[in-house]
Structure 1
Amino acid sequence: MKCFPVSKKGLEQFKIILEDWIPKNASIALAYEDSYIYFAPSFEHVNLKIERKIHPESVAARVIQTRIKTDVIVDSTIFGEPYFVMGYPIYLDQKDAALIIIFPSSYTPVKKEPYKFLTGKQEDMWTPVPVEEITYIESLQKRTWFYTNDDQFKTNFTLKELETKLPEFFIRIHRSYILNMYHIKNITKDITTNFIIQLKNGVELPVSQSYINNLRRALEF
C-alpha cells in the first residue's frame, strides 16, 4: 500500500487554511508523485471526478515537472463548462508536489498584461523572442513550438495557455496552430473548400472548420 506523506487530519487542516483566501465554492486537490492524494470538491464540483493517477498533460503534472505556478482555463470538454484552474508547486515529505485550485465557473481571473516576449529553447540555450517576430505557434507530438522567419523554438506552454497570454493579434486557427495575423499574406480555399492561410514567408497553414468563424470575425471577411 502506498504511504501518503500527510494524514487525513492534516489534509483537512490544510483545506481550512486555504478557505481563508480562495472562493468558498472552489475545489482543492493535492497531487503527489504520480497520484492525487486528496480532493475536496465544492458543492459546484460535487459531481466532478478526478482520476487517481495524474494525467501527463494536466496542470498538476506540469507544476510538478517545472516547479512553476501554472494557471489555465480548462475547456468545456472536460468539466461540461469552462473552469479556471491554478496550480502551485509545494513540497510534501521533501518531494515535489502540487496544490491545485479549481475555481467556480463564475470566477473571472484578473486579466494580465499580454506577453511581450516568449522565451524559447534550442538545445541548451534559451532565447527571449519579441512576440511581434513570432509568425505562428504549433503543437506537435505533445510539444509546443514557435517560429520566426529564421528560427524554431520549443516552449513549455500549451496552445491553450498561450491563447490567454498572447496579444489579441494572435488567433487560434486550428487545434494545432496559433497564428500571428500580422504575418498573413493571403487566405485561399483548397479543392475541398477548406481555408488555407499563406504567410509572408511562404508557410501554409490550414484553418479548421471549428475556428473559421473566429478568423472571419477577426479579419472581417
Structure 2
Amino acid sequence: MINANTEIAREVLQQYAAILEDWIPKDAAVAIAISDYYIYYVEGIHDIRLKEGQPVMPGSIADQVITHRRKVDTIMDNSLFGIPYYGIGYPIDLQGEPAALIVILPPTYHVLRHEPFRFLTGKQDEEWSPVPIEEIAYIESLQKKTWFYVDNEQYCTSYTLKDLQLRLPTSFVRIHRSYIVNIPFIQRISRDISSNLLITLRNGSELPVSQTYMTDVKKALGF
C-alpha cells in the first residue's frame, strides 16, 4: 500500500512542480503525509531522517496542516525528529483524503524571511524602549517568555525565538533551544568538564552550546 501511495505522491509532486520550483531549492527535502502517516520522503540538504510509513506526530507541521487544512510556515525545534528544521506545509488532497506536502529546509534558511529587524522594542515594568539590534548581546527563552539583554538591562519581547530566528541579522546565531547569541559579543569559546562548548560573552555571561546546534555554531564562527 505504501508503494502505491509513493507512486501517487510522485505524481502529485509533478503536478505541483511548476509552482514549487519558483522558490524551493532543488536540494530541499520533501515529505508527503496522508491521514496519519507519511507516504513519501526524499532527503535534501537538511535531512530529518523521516521514514515512509512513519506515523504523523501530534504538533508536527503535517499534523497541523491536515488537522486545520491550512498552510503552515514555521521553524520546528528538535523535539519531534531530533533535528531542528524550517518547514512549509501545504494542504492537498490525495484520493479524496486530506494530506500535506511539506518542504523541509535548514532552520537558518532565509529565502522567505522578511527584512531583518533593525531594532527590537522591549518592555521593562510598564515602559517600552526600542533598542538597536546591534546593541543586543543575546536573547533567551525563559519561563514561556522571551528576554533580550543590553549591557546590564533585561527586556521582555512578545516575539518567540522561532519568530526572531527568521528576522535577525546574520550576526545572530542559535546556540541552544533557549539561546540566540550576537556574535560580536562573544569573548571566548571553551569546553566545560563534559567537553561541551561553552560561550562566554563580554558581559561575563556563560551560555551552553547544545549538541543540536553544534554544527551551526562551528560553521557560523569558522572553527
One fold, TM greater than 0.5?
A: yes
Match of 2:221 in 1: 219
Deviation of 1:186 (Å):
0.6
Q: d(CA) in 1 for partners of 2:133 and 2:155?
A: 12
Task: Decide whether the 8 Å contact of 1:170 with 1:180 is kept in 2.
Answer: yes
Task: Decide whether the 8 Å contact of 1:84 with 1:109 is kept in 2.
Answer: no
Match of 2:194 in 1: 192
AA partner of residue 122 (structure 1): Q
Deviations 1:154-209 (A, max 9, x none): 01111111111100110011111000001000111112111111111111111111
Q: How many residues align?
A: 150
- Change in 2 beyond 3 A, CA 1:128/1:184: same
Q: Could you list the runs of 4 or more consecutive aligned residues of structure 1 that deviate by over 6 angstroms after TM superposition?
A: 106-109
Query: Which of 126, 137, 140 lines up with 2:139 in the alignment?
Result: 137
Identity of aligned residues (%): 45
Deviations 1:29-87 (A, max 9, x none): xxxxxxxxxxxxxxx55436797xx9xxxx9xxxxxxxxxx9633457559975337xx
Matched, 1:47 2:45: no
Give the SS at the match of 1:164: helix
- Change in 2 beyond 3 A, CA 1:192/1:75: closer
Matched, 1:105 2:109: no
- Change in 2 beyond 3 A, CA 1:46/1:170: same
Deviation of 1:111 (Å):
3.0
AA partner of residue 114 (structure 2): K
Structure 2: state its 5+ residue gaps. 1-18, 20-31, 37-55, 65-71, 90-99
Q: What TM-score results when the alignment is normalised by the length of structure 2?
A: 0.56
Task: Decide whether the 8 Å contact of 1:83 with 1:103 is kept in 2.
Answer: no
Match of 1:5 in 2: none
Task: Decide whether the 8 Å contact of 2:119 with 2:130 is kept in 1.
Answer: yes
Match of 2:170 in 1: 168
Structure 1: state its 5+ residue gaps. 1-22, 24-43, 60-69, 86-101
Query: CA RMSD, aligned part only?
Result: 3.4
Deviation of 1:212 (Å):
1.4
AA partner of residue 115 (structure 2): E
